[in-house]
Amino acid sequence: MEQEPIDADHITIPRWTIKRDPRALGCSICGSAIVKITAEWRQVSFCTCRLIEYRVLPRAPKALPAPSPASDSRKDP
């Protein structure tokens, strides 16, 4: 059975994104690629030698359910 090649620059795990940071050429200290992992509410960038960035992302507000017509207590005139 033949498998598709893996793109090492961009890997997706459900609710995670792992990719090389396109803005960075590499770590200025060790020269390795900078990797960025984005999960549900955090984002981490790191290289071989250090943690570069850790951010807590704003969570999107959950949508409120639409009010049911029975809950409308206003009376039409």
Q: What is the pLDDT of residues 40-76, one digit of tens each?
A: 888 999 999 999 999 998 876 666 666 666 555 555 5
| Model pLDDT, residue 60 | 64
Taking the C-alpha atoms of residue 12 and residue 50, their distance in angstroms, rounded to an integer, is: 23
pTM: 0.54
Report the amino acid identity of residue 11. Answer: I
Are 52 and 71 a contacting pair, CB within 8 Å?
A: no
